[in-house]
Amino acid sequence: MSEHEKFFVVVDPTLDQHVALDRAIITAKLMDIEPQLCIFVAVDVASDEANDRDAEFTRNSCWFDSNVHEPLRAAGLEYQIEISWATHWQKAVMSAAQKYSATRILVPAGKPKKSRRMIFSESKWKLLKRAFCPVILVREGASPQRKTVLAAVNFQVTHGLQKTLNRNIISRGERLAKSYGADFHVVNAYIDSMLYPDRGMLARATGLSSSHIHVVQGYTDEGIAQVAQALSADVVVVGTLGQTGQVRNLRGNTVERVISALDVDVVVVNSEYQ
């Protein structure tokens, strides 16, 4: 990517590992123009993970030095730190990221728990739905190197916003693949054989060869996860219709099932930005 980017990196001080910060540093060092970073330290008190951990904790200056300052200084990156005591995590993240003019938001996500479908707190889902820029859900144990980027689209749609969403997913996937020097693939799952995706349209929209276009029959989450695993994809780009879309509640939406089915980093875009 040639434009100057600004990463907004969410750090949860109750965690021992800071995967979003690690990912931001790795990504920044790979870019031709190093981005600026805003490190946002805050706890999502509504999350199950926060409730499972001891609420009686403190973090002193030594913790900030070893967990935040040292890795950033070692990487030679420009950064600033903000600390939030706000009760409403999502609103605090959104407000601070907008003031910073962030071009991407990186959030620690952890590994999905197979025992339950609702893998994120309501506040995180609201962030995905309402964000003004792409949100990257960084998973524990994800590969530090991006070799394959997979974008999940739905070319059976007819609604204008959904078509815009497809374009945004493809655009973001292409830009990610270019920035990492990675292979770019597109997947389109379908259930009804009467609504088989037009491979020619997919080829024209992406400029990809047939070997990089994957059309699979089955439920969306299962199909995307199957292709991601077969390709050993390092990151998957998915989409939601956003705040003004037809689906205003992420709970039960297809994107939730897709994210739950994946154990790699996921980039979430919506129909309201490029």
pLDDT of residue 48: 55
Q: Are 225 and 214 in contact, with CB atoms under 8 Å apart? A: no
Flag whether pLDDT at 113 surpasses 90.
no
pLDDT single digits (tens) 130-164: 899 999 999 887 777 789 999 999 998 777 888 89
The mean per-residue pLDDT over the stretch 182-205 comes to 90
Flag whether pLDDT at 129 surpasses 80.
yes
Please provide the average confidence, as pLDDT, over all residues in the chain: 86
Do 24 and 129 fall into the same domain? yes
CATH code of the domain covering residue 123: 3.40.50.620
Q: Is residue 94 part of a domain?
A: yes
The contacts of residue 63 (CB under 8 Å, 6+ apart) are 13
The pTM (predicted TM-score) of the whole model is 0.88
Higher pLDDT, 176 or 56: 176
What secondary structure letter does DSSP report for 47?
S
Q: Where are the beta strands (DSSP E) in the chain?
A: 6-11, 36-41, 79-83, 104-108, 135-138, 148-152, 183-190, 213-217, 235-240, 265-270
* Percentage, residues of the chain above pLDDT 90: 55
**Which strands sit side by side in the sheet containing 183-190, from one edge to the other?**
79-83, 36-41, 6-11, 104-108, 135-138, 265-270, 235-240, 148-152, 183-190, 213-217
The total domain count for the chain is 2
Structural domain ending residue among the three candidates 138, 162, 179: 138
Do 214 and 244 fall into the same domain? yes
Flag whether pLDDT at 64 surpasses 50.
yes
Q: Is residue 143 part of a domain?
A: no
Do 86 and 128 fall into the same domain? yes
Flag whether pLDDT at 196 surpasses 50.
yes
Do 198 and 246 fall into the same domain? yes
Do 45 and 89 fall into the same domain? yes
Q: Is residue 208 part of a domain?
A: yes
Lowest model confidence (mean pLDDT) among 9-18, 43-52, 56-65, 227-236: 43-52
- Note down the domain range covering 108: 6-138
Q: Is residue 88 part of a domain?
A: yes
pLDDT of residue 251: 45
56-to-18, 46, 53 alpha-carbon distances in Å: 20, 16, 9
Do 85 and 111 fall into the same domain? yes
Do 32 and 112 fall into the same domain? yes
pLDDT of residue 114: 56
Q: Is residue 153 part of a domain?
A: yes
